[in-house]
């Protein structure tokens, strides 16, 4: 096999592996939970989905 053929074959393999890597990362992200004050050491005031201070929690 000459150099050019080997290089092109390796580039094709690289592209295939990069596409596979993207797909697998997307699949993995479904199973990873985001950090919040209940499952990490983040302070409750730093939670992204916490209610604003000026909103009443009463209904």
Q: What is the pLDDT of residues 7-31, one digit of tens each?
A: 999 999 999 999 999 999 999 988 8
How big is the CA angle at 29 (ends 25 and 31), to the nearest 5 degrees?
A: 125
pLDDT of residue 13: 98
Tokens of 26: 């997307």
pLDDT of residue 47: 67
**Residue 1 CB partners (closer than 8 Å, separation 6+):** 9
Q: What is the mean pLDDT of residues 43-53?
A: 68
């Amino acid at each position: 096999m000459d150099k050019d053929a080997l290089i092109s074959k390796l580039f094709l393999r690289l592209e295939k592996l990069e596409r596979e890597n993207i797909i697998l990362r997307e699949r993995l992200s479904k199973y990873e939970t985001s950090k919040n004050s209940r499952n990490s050491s983040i302070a409750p005031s730093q939670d992204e989905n916490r209610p604003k201070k000026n909103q009443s929690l009463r209904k």
